[in-house]
Amino acid sequence: MAADILSDSQLEQRYACQWEADKVLFREGEDSQDLYILVSGSLEVLKGEQRIDLINEPGSIFGEMSWLLGSRRTATVKAKEPTHLLCVPRDEVESFLQDHPLVAQRISRHLAKRLDQTTRVVFGLKELCDHLPDAVILSDAQGRIIAFNAAAGQVYGRDWSQMQGRPVEEVYQEPEEYRHLEEQVRGASVARERVLKIKHPTRGQRLISISMTCLMDQERQVQGLISLGRDVTKLERIRRLNRWLLPTLALVACLGLGAHWVLPQVWPASAPISRDAKLLQGQIAKDYLLLSTLLKGSLNQEQAGEAAARMEQFLAAQDGGQGLYSGVILLDADKKVLAAISRQPQERPAPQPGSTYANLHFEGPENSLHKVVVLYRTSPKHPGGLRSLEVALELRDQGRGQGWLLLPIDMDYLKERYGMEEQALSALHFDRR
């Protein structure tokens, strides 16, 4: 085909043109749709200032995409050396292809090859995106979802049938916040970041950190948007906790300094107790004050995640993570587990949220704020059950019980640090006020 076209004297006479080295045939963004066939020489294809391709094979056809789509040029083409071409004006391209069907076939094969390459690239990109930890959402110029990766399905709790073609803003609890971010990105054409809320179908409210950028064409028109999302719920809760945890710890430290004269009046012992028992009672009292302050307002399912984060941070601060307690458990007024943390989840797994203590006996003096619970907790490592001794302290507000704070005791630590056995826990007394 190439030899026939290139040797046709009539075509040579009608369409031949010569280009000197460095002369530009057309520029990126130019509104022209002429078709070109290379006879001899070579040309560079440029995107901006960067060369992306070299055309040097006689019979090569280029410029067909602008003619087929009626669009502007997507790249700049200039001669690398003196170059001989056939230039078919756009008004004559259709008749030219009818007279030379082999050229049309070659264009079709070329387009099919490019489509195959593009499909492979797109598939490769999807495979790559599916391995990214961040949620990737691709939307069109109108903000409708046209693609997303596997992480996005997990982060947002939706499948393709629930996402395809829908406006991205509908994914978020506050669509106007997303629209405001999108408007900023469209105006600046750069990535920005913001934390937005979603309602996950199984995990409840989550906080998602969003970064977004525009996809632009050669005319700087927005053709789509890419957003990257990451679940930062736990991180944001810890950040908020840190903002007021240190002042709270300072307050508790002040309370600790006065514990020797404050605690006997706040929780007077019903009977004389040993020095070690006083130290243990003081430690539990201070930890109760701290935890009840941290967990105030968290005795409901909606705040359970935030409560767990605060309990986890409290537990990690106990003597480098090896303190008196092997975990922390929060119960509601009906003794159902709202949140639970274990220092050794494999050895001593924490109870599951929603499980209940209602059928267990809370043993202790009637007039004391604390009780003692003994139970056997099963696990894959201990199918027969591992004995657990837990101090239960009632959470009260205006004289009414609101829930329970359970502190599983590390018995080895209790014996080593305080020289006491489990019977001593029942002998403690905390005034119920």
Q: How far apart are CA 312 and CA 107, in angstroms?
A: 65
Looking at the fold, whether 302 and 174 belong to one and the same domain comes out as no
Residue 412: give the domain boundaries: 235-427
If you ran DSSP here, which 8-state letter would residue 171 be given?
A: G
Looking at the fold, whether 93 and 179 belong to one and the same domain comes out as no
In angstroms, what CA-CA distances link 370 with 16, 37, 310, 392? 99, 91, 22, 5
Looking at the fold, whether 329 and 365 belong to one and the same domain comes out as yes
Q: Is residue 433 part of a domain?
A: no
Looking at the fold, whether 213 and 294 belong to one and the same domain comes out as no
Looking at the fold, whether 220 and 249 belong to one and the same domain comes out as no
Looking at the fold, whether 79 and 97 belong to one and the same domain comes out as yes
Q: State pTM to two decimals.
A: 0.41
Q: How far apart are CA 66 and CA 107, in angstroms?
A: 13
Looking at the fold, whether 158 and 122 belong to one and the same domain comes out as no
CA angle 410, 412, 418 (to 5 degrees): 95
Q: Is residue 365 part of a domain?
A: yes
pLDDT value, residue 256: 53
Q: How far apart are CA 75 and CA 92, in angstroms?
A: 22
Residue where the block lists tokens 């993570």: 321
- Domain end point (choices 79, 100, 126): 126
Q: Is residue 261 part of a domain?
A: yes
Looking at the fold, whether 297 and 348 belong to one and the same domain comes out as yes
pLDDT value, residue 261: 46
Q: Which two tokens stand for residue 36?
A: 């070109």
Q: Which two tokens stand for residue 248?
A: 């709270």
Looking at the fold, whether 416 and 330 belong to one and the same domain comes out as yes
pLDDT along the chain (433 residues), means of 10: 63 88 93 92 90 89 87 91 93 87 80 71 64 83 87 89 89 89 76 82 88 75 84 72 56 52 46 73 85 80 84 75 84 92 86 90 81 84 83 84 90 86 79 61
Q: Is residue 389 part of a domain?
A: yes
Looking at the fold, whether 198 and 316 belong to one and the same domain comes out as no
Residue 393 host element (H or E): strand 386-397
Q: Is residue 432 part of a domain?
A: no
Give the CATH number of the domain where residue 102 resides.
2.60.120.10
Q: Is residue 114 part of a domain?
A: yes
Looking at the fold, whether 149 and 116 belong to one and the same domain comes out as no
In angstroms, what CA-CA distances link 158 with 176, 204, 290? 21, 13, 39
How many structural domains does the chain have? 3
